[in-house]
Structure 1
Amino acid sequence: MALPAKNLLGDETSPYLQQHKGNPVHWRPWSTKTLAEAKALDKPILLSIGYAACHWCHVMAHECFEDDEVADVMNRLFVNIKVDREERPDIDQIYMAALQATGEQGGWPLTMFLTPDAKPFWGGTYFPRKARFGRPGFVEVLNAVHTAWKDKQAELARSADALAAHVASRLAPTPDGAAPAAPPLQPLAEKIASMMDPDLGGLRGAPKFPNAPFLDVLWLDWLENRTVARRDAVLGTLRSMLSGGIYDHVGGGLARYSTDAQWLVPHFEKMLYDNAQIIRHACFAHVETGDELFRMRIEETIGWVLREMQVEGGAFASSLDADTEGEEGKFYLWTRSEIEKVLGEDAETLLGFYSLSKPEGWEGDPILHRLHRPDAQPPAEERRQRELLDRLLAKREKRPRPGRDDKVLVDWNGLTIAALATAGRQLARRDWIEAAHAAYRFVCESMQDERLPHSIRGEKRLFPALASDYAAMISAAVALHGALQENAFIKQALRWAEMLDRWHADEAGSGYFLTASDNADVPMRIRGDVDEAVPSATAQIIVALTQLSSLSGDHALYEKAMRSAEAALARAQQQAYGQAGIIHAAALAQRPMKLLISDTSQHERFVPVANRISDPRRVDVVLKEEEKAPAEQMAGITIDRAVPGAWLCVGQSCLPSIHDPVILEATLRSSRKE
């Protein structure tokens, strides 16, 4: 069965695939039809994976995929498949693991060569049109792979079988042995801390990524074990990131990573997931320190999310491109003369506080940062600087904008909804909570037969969802319940937990697969154990089920969370990296917290305390006079509603009732393992 000899991406949902619909390459989307075509023609597959905001994906597209000569070779020799890694992270994880297993460093664009039955046998990342950067030219690569396939097909097929088996052992492993007696949170935190840059935070060296799963581990170790050095490592990392060039001081929001070791030179693409996680971590840092730097960055980053990432209907787009008019970072950069033209005499005021730097090797305009003035200044000074930055922002809004990938990814939106709800509670911003609720409604309205999609763009929906979509939206519902105390969020989250069980649970009841059981186009069902820039799907599921169990009083959910955690910890012992999320989630599940509050509607005393002290371990329930809350039943305590108070339950036991808001605040701030 041969599909039409033309490019077939024109009807795809993904903006990334749409970017390639005009290529002379006969691209196909990943589908059962495309895989059947490769088998029928007995042709190897050229798989190209990228995403809309990826700079080097654009470079390779311009150099190779828009070139008629290159396209002719590709079309003659291969079945060519283009995949958006954000739409199909399951496909991306499989073939990225295959590339790394061959000893190559991973990255995007990912270029893999597969047998006709989709088993990988060789690959790389970016290839130039003609040989340079120490890389062979792409036509040379294509012809060499074709020759090898023609002359050594049996040998390559054996290698592909072995590589596929290795990938399966990495991404869908069978546990060999028991889980550790307790999640190794402290040893992992110590190992991570030993790799941290003592001066600027983050892992030593370049490039520097936010690495949220590592920060989660360090922060939980601080909360549980009062390891001050772990707290300081997180705070130092956040201060450096939020003061460096990786942060957009004019418009808010964090770039995906810095190319250097000082957080100075950003790779300018902005991803929704990074910014959801930085909002969350900044909330925890602000609770701990009261440092106004964190409050300002929360406000600025949420301002950017609502201004530049919100799509019609209230949900959030996936990313902004690194490039504008073919030039990396052009939208974000300023020369001194440009600043002086906008600000006049006030330019000296701004540049006495912020710096413009053009480090060696950087070819663009200077980068604005405040690495030399990271600490928050007196409020009047910060307000004055913000006024000047807003004048630059107004000017910048008139520039040609970077491309926006406006597909709505359900799991990334779940992360963002939870972050907005947390920040809205903490800083008493009802508008942020309302924005979170609007995005939540958008996702709910996209369901079919009670199932979530993974991606939404306009009227198009990509089904079925991934396990991470259900986990992230369960956590989003929990966060919104904390903000609005409406039981409808619990009911919806319980239905999502049912869908997770129905479509993603393994036969042994020991955990979940990333892809749904009725997804017919995956070469293997993988667990989703490996962290990327966000915690793994498995980690997110453990946290979501633990939180929902505490909130709903459904102990069976907690048992599922613990079985999943134990099985995942057993699998994690066989893996070399990428398991921080599982260890963090298992430690959190071991000692979850819930706070029950009975307050007076006329004069709340305890709710404001709980709102402003966010804690990743805790869910909060405000008890209503007319009903006995499920969380109250689960706690096994009797509450006198006539007397306002609070009850903090840690693990399987509850502390004595608290009737003084001052004592509640001290308890929430000092709660730790005894």
Structure 2
Amino acid sequence: MTELDRNRLAGSNRLAEEPSAYLRQHADNPVHWQPWGKEALDSAKELDRPILLSVGYAACHWCHVMAHESFENPDVAEVMNALFVNVKVDREERPDIDQIYMAALGAMGQQGGWPLTMFLRPDGKPFWGGTYFPPHKRHNMPGFVDMLHAVNNLWNKDKEKINHNAQAVFDHLEGRLAAQIAPVVNEVERFDEIATRINSLIDPVRGGIEGAPKFPNAPFMDNLWLSWLYGRNETHRDNFLLSLKVMLQGGIYDHLGGGLCRYSTDANWLVPHFEKMLYDNAQFIRHANYAFAETGNDLFRLRIEETIDWLIREMRLPDGSFASSLDADSEGEEGRFYVWSEQEIDQALGNDSEAFKDYYGVTAGGNWEGQNILNRLDAVDGDAILPPLIETSRQKLLARRELRVRPGRDEKALTDWNGFAIRALAEAGRSFGRQDWIDLAVDAYRSIASSFRDGRIAHCRMENSLLYPALSTDYASMINAAIALYEATGEWACIDDALKLKKALDDSHRDGAGNYRLSALDADDVILHAYGDYDEAIPSATSQIIEALTRLFLATGNIDLYQSNEKLIEQALGRAFAQQYGQIGILNAARFAAEPLSLVVATDDNAGELVSTANRNPDPRRVDKFVRFEAGKTIELPTGGTAEPEHPSAWFCKGHVCLPPVQNADALRLLLGKAY
């Protein structure tokens, strides 16, 4: 092969036309980046070079740091281009790729994170990797350039060792991500054991998992709440509420603009990693909705209202869907948009600044790198309703902040993340009687659902570009969103949509054993088809599918859904108990499926007391059906039975048993309050 041929194959930077904002951020790098795909793999084979795979996302602070230090450096790029085929992946665009190679890094005994830096054979099998590397050796961290030369030296001199390592890692990946395990019967006692273990990890003072960093960890929060609902374990309820309350008073929450940041770098929820993600906020809205219904604490109500205002103001796209994230950085500094010096607050608020500074813990020295992160950690249990002077000052400071250079927004509309937001808005809209929130959910749903073509939905939309095929989590999230919209609107067309999505999920992702793979079965650019069992910041694809099928069964009464879901659950539990790590979502979904609840309300008044009582009592275990009441008209019940009521009535059903109907709000409230 001539040098001209080698240069042609190695190519130039090919990211400028990619729909992903994260990939386009690297389009001007001197690195000859290629997007993931067959062309990049084929180039590596023809050149007989290893692949350098770099995985990140637009809001990732350390991704930006490594890009600035190494990928924008012509000297570093020269080494990369001479020795490797360089491939960039947006983990939000291709979470299936990210999951495989993050698991590979774990198999090598290393801690995961982003940016993910992996070295692959030309067939895509990984043989070594890491996360962030400085360009040159720093403290105990190896330098990126030195590492590039070391990997190249190994590639040229000891391919046998590389091949041995690659095969060993691949065998581990197959066993962990794609192997069939003996099924396990769905026994609720196992859930109770896991809930007790999770509760033992909770920080008794600040909530969340003890230690630092602290993440919202939605699957763990879901577990504690389900344990309270099913077992009435008050300690689990209290730790759920404590975790949520301290989070929402901490610096991880944006006290000016609303919205939760990705995680706290310290053990006190004070110092956030300042990126904001759509999925975190959608899940927190749902949790706060449960918490407000349980306690009536205005903190939860206000944080829901503030965060939905933030979604509308900063995250809503022109087509009604929602962007995926906001960067941590602006003007080249992490958190610059969100933090304040005492002098800045004095200048903005004048004579009112002292009261504001006292309220939010502002000092001359600051609480982070000389700056102030606004927080209420010294008054976690204080009155959440702001005094008029503080509210006025808050609005002034928010207006002043709007003049700053904004963090970048990743405008990808991801199908699964939008599904979370749609469901959260629909549920909160019901609970708070906010038709405008339900309308937002409907608009977002229509936008995302418009990509459903030829039996498939897109994974994401970026401006006018659609990325197919979807992942299994996209279908599951949208099925759950469609059912939530049915509960909020009463439109049976939502259930019809859910059934279409379920068929598409089966056609593209269901294997011969009745399990679902994360990538489409016809995807030819993955080294294996993983199940999608592992939780990350969101519950796993498998857990979302189990929940979606359970909810769809409750909405339709289709016994085939119930039976196929039972088989799926047993196989998923077999894998979960074999792995014993990162699969809490499957246990949560299986617990729900073991004892689901449903409510049927026959009403002639959609604003009447039976409907409003159901709406104000959200329960993740329950699916609500609202049907038109006509005296003597036959009503179908979820258990397969029927009723012919003479008055507007509600039937509350546990599993396969429906209780006698009730006709007034007090009786229904009593039933819903004793749903355990």
TM range (shorter): over 0.9
Distance in 2 (alpha carbons) for counterparts of 1:313 and 1:540:
26
Residue of structure 2 equivalent to 1:276: 282
CA positional deviation for 1:376? 4.8
Residue of structure 2 equivalent to 1:150: 156
Q: Identify if the C-alpha distance between structure 1 residues 109 and 132 changes in structure 2 by more than 3 Å, giving closer, same or farther.
A: same
Distance in 1 (alpha carbons) for counterparts of 2:364 and 2:491:
51
Partner-residue secondary structure (3-state), 1:90: helix
CA positional deviation for 1:642? 3.1
Residue of structure 1 equivalent to 2:345: 339
Contact 1:218 1:230 in 2 (8 A): yes
Q: Identify if the C-alpha distance between structure 1 residues 536 and 458 changes in structure 2 by more than 3 Å, giving closer, same or farther.
A: same
Residue of structure 2 equivalent to 1:522: 526
Is the counterpart of residue 310 in structure 1 residue 316 in structure 2? yes
Q: Which amino acid aligns with 1:99?
A: L
Contact 2:632 2:645 in 1 (8 A): no
Greater Cα shift, 594-603 or 395-404: 594-603
Deviations 1:615-661 (A, max 9, x none): 00111111124799999254233333430111011111111111221
* Aligned residue runs from structure 1 range 175-324, under 5 A: 175-176=181-182, 178-179=184-185, 181-182=187-188, 184-324=190-330
CA positional deviation for 1:343? 1.8
Distance in 2 (alpha carbons) for counterparts of 1:70 and 1:180:
53
Is the counterpart of residue 399 in structure 1 residue 404 in structure 2? yes
Q: Which amino acid aligns with 1:503?
A: S
Q: Identify if the C-alpha distance between structure 1 residues 77 and 557 changes in structure 2 by more than 3 Å, giving closer, same or farther.
A: same
Give the aligned length.
670
CA positional deviation for 1:375? 2.6
Distance in 2 (alpha carbons) for counterparts of 1:630 and 1:445:
35
Residue of structure 1 equivalent to 2:126: 120
Residue of structure 1 equivalent to 2:636: 632
Distance in 1 (alpha carbons) for counterparts of 2:645 and 2:481:
29
Distance in 2 (alpha carbons) for counterparts of 1:358 and 1:134:
35
Residue of structure 2 equivalent to 1:477: 482
Distance in 2 (alpha carbons) for counterparts of 1:235 and 1:358:
33
Is the counterpart of residue 552 in structure 1 residue 564 in structure 2? no
Distance in 1 (alpha carbons) for counterparts of 2:158 and 2:185:
43
Picking from 601, 605, 619, the partner of 2:623 is 619
CA positional deviation for 1:367? 0.9
Greater Cα shift, 158-167 or 338-347: 338-347
Greater Cα shift, 181-190 or 121-130: 181-190
Picking from 443, 447, 453, the partner of 1:442 is 447
Picking from 180, 204, 210, the partner of 1:174 is 180
CA positional deviation for 1:176? 3.4
Deviations 1:480-507 (A, max 9, x none): 1111000010000000000011110011
Deviations 1:331-385 (A, max 9, x none): 0011222222222222222233221269999325111100111235275x44553
TM-score, normalised on structure 1? 0.97
* Aligned residue runs from structure 1 range 36-75, under 5 A: 36-75=42-81
Q: Which amino acid aligns with 2:65?
A: V
Greater Cα shift, 183-192 or 47-56: 183-192
Q: Which amino acid aligns with 1:646?
A: A
Q: Which amino acid aligns with 2:489?
A: L
Residue of structure 2 equivalent to 1:595: 599
Partner-residue secondary structure (3-state), 2:504: helix
Picking from 495, 498, 513, the partner of 2:500 is 495
Contact 1:339 1:392 in 2 (8 A): yes
Q: Identify if the C-alpha distance between structure 1 residues 469 and 602 changes in structure 2 by more than 3 Å, giving closer, same or farther.
A: closer
Is the counterpart of residue 456 in structure 1 residue 461 in structure 2? yes
Is the counterpart of residue 110 in structure 1 residue 116 in structure 2? yes
Greater Cα shift, 357-366 or 416-425: 357-366
Deviations 1:444-477 (A, max 9, x none): 1122213111010111000000000000000000
TM-score, normalised on structure 2? 0.96
Partner-residue secondary structure (3-state), 1:356: coil
Partner-residue secondary structure (3-state), 2:109: coil
Is the counterpart of residue 427 in structure 1 residue 432 in structure 2? yes
Distance in 2 (alpha carbons) for counterparts of 1:562 and 1:263:
39
Distance in 2 (alpha carbons) for counterparts of 1:236 and 1:326:
35
Q: Identify if the C-alpha distance between structure 1 residues 626 and 315 changes in structure 2 by more than 3 Å, giving closer, same or farther.
A: farther
Distance in 2 (alpha carbons) for counterparts of 1:177 and 1:655:
33
Picking from 8, 11, 20, the partner of 1:5 is 11
Q: Which amino acid aligns with 2:623?
A: V
Deviations 1:524-578 (A, max 9, x none): 1000000000000000000011101111221211222221111100111111311
Distance in 2 (alpha carbons) for counterparts of 1:320 and 1:500:
30
Contact 1:291 1:376 in 2 (8 A): no
Residue of structure 2 equivalent to 1:370: 376
Is the counterpart of residue 583 in structure 1 residue 587 in structure 2? yes
Q: Identify if the C-alpha distance between structure 1 residues 359 and 470 changes in structure 2 by more than 3 Å, giving closer, same or farther.
A: farther
Residue of structure 2 equivalent to 1:531: 535
Partner-residue secondary structure (3-state), 1:464: coil
Contact 2:600 2:637 in 1 (8 A): no
Picking from 19, 28, 35, the partner of 1:22 is 28
Is the counterpart of residue 86 in structure 1 residue 92 in structure 2? yes
Distance in 1 (alpha carbons) for counterparts of 2:70 and 2:159:
26
Partner-residue secondary structure (3-state), 1:160: helix
Contact 1:316 1:408 in 2 (8 A): yes
Partner-residue secondary structure (3-state), 1:367: coil
Q: Which amino acid aligns with 1:306?
A: I
Q: Which amino acid aligns with 2:648?
A: P
Residue of structure 2 equivalent to 1:667: 671
Residue of structure 2 equivalent to 1:165: 171
CA positional deviation for 1:98? 0.7
Q: Which amino acid aligns with 1:409?
A: L
Q: Percent identity?
A: 52
Residue of structure 2 equivalent to 1:390: 395
Contact 2:59 2:325 in 1 (8 A): yes
Contact 1:552 1:630 in 2 (8 A): no
Distance in 1 (alpha carbons) for counterparts of 2:255 and 2:116:
32
Distance in 2 (alpha carbons) for counterparts of 1:437 and 1:427:
16
Partner-residue secondary structure (3-state), 1:184: helix
Q: Which amino acid aligns with 2:53?
A: L
Distance in 1 (alpha carbons) for counterparts of 2:488 and 2:364:
44
CA positional deviation for 1:394? 1.0
Gaps of 5+ in 2: none
Q: Identify if the C-alpha distance between structure 1 residues 90 and 603 changes in structure 2 by more than 3 Å, giving closer, same or farther.
A: closer
Q: Which amino acid aligns with 1:418?
A: R
Distance in 2 (alpha carbons) for counterparts of 1:33 and 1:236:
51
Q: Identify if the C-alpha distance between structure 1 residues 378 and 311 changes in structure 2 by more than 3 Å, giving closer, same or farther.
A: closer
Is the counterpart of residue 138 in structure 1 residue 144 in structure 2? yes
Distance in 2 (alpha carbons) for counterparts of 1:49 and 1:55:
13
Deviations 1:254-274 (A, max 9, x none): 000010000000100000000
- Provide the alpha-carbon RMSD of the alignment: 1.8
Is the counterpart of residue 330 in structure 1 residue 312 in structure 2? no
